[in-house]
Structure 1
Amino acid sequence: MNSQNGFLLSFIKYGENDAVLHCFTEEDGFQTYFVKGIYSKRNKKKALLQPLSLLNFTVNPAKGNGIPLVSKFELVKNHDMYTDIKANTVIFFISDFLNQVLRHENKNPDLFLSIDEFISELMNKNYQCHLLFLITVLKIQGVAPLIHEGKYLDPETGTFSDIPAHQLFDDKISDLWKTALFSEKLYTTKIHSLQRKDFLDSILVYYHYHITDFKIPTSLEVIQQIFE
């Protein structure tokens, strides 16, 4: 057996009472676990299955090609953000997002800490923090844009130039990217409410070019509606 702290990214009911969990763990990166009996009537632990919950798992090693079995798990930190509609929408979007882009990610302490920092910002009602967190992920992954004196960001090359390369990346959105990339305190970056949709769309375009097999998260429409 071994003990792991991990953020829950997604969970799928398996059969009547069991579940498959996808997590990003502190020690081993992205992991898939199997939990027996979590949906049984007497099991109160199913209430802990919330996107981006930080949980401690006691795990039995997998046999052969099987999935490691969780013998027990506990909540590491208690967050009350799930009762906040805006925060809850952001959490579902980011967990959906990370469940896709971290599928092949090994141990990454910087990324693990950045998720924790993002959650702290959201708990403090920073409702634009998900936009800046997505920039943080690009920086940690080493695919963030290179800063040049150009006015417009070219999402395909990841560089700035004097000529517009994409309709979403006008001078205002490109300047917002520069501000975020330069900022030592990223989460203090101000994003006007009228720019948030275009900025998020531009981030998704950038991910499309730089993250292999990237797909638009299914929860995008919901988060766009909440912040309109």
Structure 2
Amino acid sequence: MLRKTRGIVINYIKYRETSIIVRIFTRDLGLKTYLVNGVRSQKSKTKMAHFQPLTLLELVVYDKETANLNRISEAKLAWAFQRIPFDFYRSGISMFMGEILGKVVVDNYQNEVLFDYLFQLILRLDSPEFQPGLFILLFLIRTSRYLGFEPDDAREFYLQLPVEQTGSTLEDKISYLDQLLEQQETLLPSLPVSLKRTLIDDWILFYKIHIDGFGDIKSLAVLRTLVQ
């Protein structure tokens, strides 16, 4: 059965000489895996650029609930990126986001509210109004909200972490994180880069607690160098 839906590309792997297997988080069908034949061939009408992580697509797909691998009838860009592929900072963030989403969005998982939030967030990452300072932390915090494990406050957050933390640095992080959780980021004072990096590390650990098999984030080392 043919279905129309929007999609966010999560990742792909090469398959045989000219094909790929791509995972796409769709708005109406959840996370689906598709075989795209011949896309790596020079003669292909569909471009490989359509299947890079976080690409926003308008899709017509064949959908069979019992199939592990489906096919795409038509794929066109819902938005042509103007900045993400050409900006080292934005492309580094997109790589990190794609890796996180590849771990938290599972096969057939459907969440239209999460999809709409991510779609708009990716558009913001590509927009001239993009503000890098808190983007990464807010992505981790708000995605946890849509996945159902956002903490009520910063003290609860740190109580859940397996590593005991004490001292003035902890109090600084709690104060800062509480304002982020309360969506008061416009009132925040500047925070040392070292503390921002530590907060990101803390949130990665928090995700590991709540997502089975979360594992390590390969792009984290690159991301930490981008934090300002």
Any conservation in 2 of the 1:38–1:45 contact (CA below 8 Å)?
yes
Residue 92 in 1 paired to residue 98 in 2? no
Q: How does 1:169-184 map to 2 (within 5 A)?
A: 170-183=170-183
Higher helix share: 2
Structure 1's 61 and 141: CA in aligned 2 closer, same or farther, altered over 3 A?
closer
Of the candidates 135, 139, 144, which is equivalent to residue 129 of structure 1?
A: 135
Cα distance, 1:214 vs structure 2: 1.5
Determine which structure has greater relative contact order: mean sequence separation of CA pairs < 8 Å that are 6+ residues apart, divided by chain length: 2
In structure 1, distance between residues paired with 2:149 and 2:124: 23
In structure 2, distance between residues paired with 1:99 and 1:36: 22
Residue 225 in 1 paired to residue 228 in 2? no
Cα distance, 1:74 vs structure 2: 0.6
* Count, aligned residues: 220
Q: How does 1:59-208 map to 2 (within 5 A)?
A: 59-62=61-64, 65-80=67-82, 81-104=84-107, 106-123=109-126, 124-127=129-132, 128-147=134-153, 153-156=158-161, 165-166=164-165, 170-183=170-183, 192=191, 194=193, 195-208=195-208
Matched to 1:116, the amino acid is F
Matched to 1:16, the amino acid is E
Structure 1's 121 and 211: CA in aligned 2 closer, same or farther, altered over 3 A?
same
Q: How does 1:44-55 map to 2 (within 5 A)?
A: 44-55=46-57
In structure 2, distance between residues paired with 1:37 and 1:28: 24
In structure 2, distance between residues paired with 1:52 and 1:28: 17
Runs of 4+ residues over 3 Å off in structure 1: 61-66, 164-169, 185-191
After TM superposition, the score normalised by the length of structure 1 is 0.85
Deviates more, 1:139-148 or 1:202-211: 139-148
In structure 1, distance between residues paired with 2:28 and 2:186: 26
Any conservation in 1 of the 2:31–2:106 contact (CA below 8 Å)?
yes
Structure 1's 54 and 189: CA in aligned 2 closer, same or farther, altered over 3 A?
farther
Cα distance, 1:23 vs structure 2: 1.1
In structure 1, distance between residues paired with 2:144 and 2:157: 18
In structure 1, distance between residues paired with 2:207 and 2:217: 11
In structure 2, distance between residues paired with 1:24 and 1:187: 31
Instruction: Provide Cα deviations, 1:49-98, integer angstroms capped at 9, x if missing partner.
Output: 22111112221234964411112211011121211110000001101110
- The answer for unaligned runs of 5 or more in structure 2 is none
- The answer for unaligned runs of 5 or more in structure 1 is 158-163
In structure 2, distance between residues paired with 1:187 and 1:125: 14
Give RMSD over aligned pairs: 2.7
Any conservation in 2 of the 1:118–1:130 contact (CA below 8 Å)?
no
In structure 1, distance between residues paired with 2:158 and 2:14: 42
Structure 1's 190 and 78: CA in aligned 2 closer, same or farther, altered over 3 A?
farther
Cα distance, 1:135 vs structure 2: 0.4
Cα distance, 1:113 vs structure 2: 1.5
Instruction: Name 1:40's counterpart in structure 2.
Output: 41
Matched to 2:109, the amino acid is N
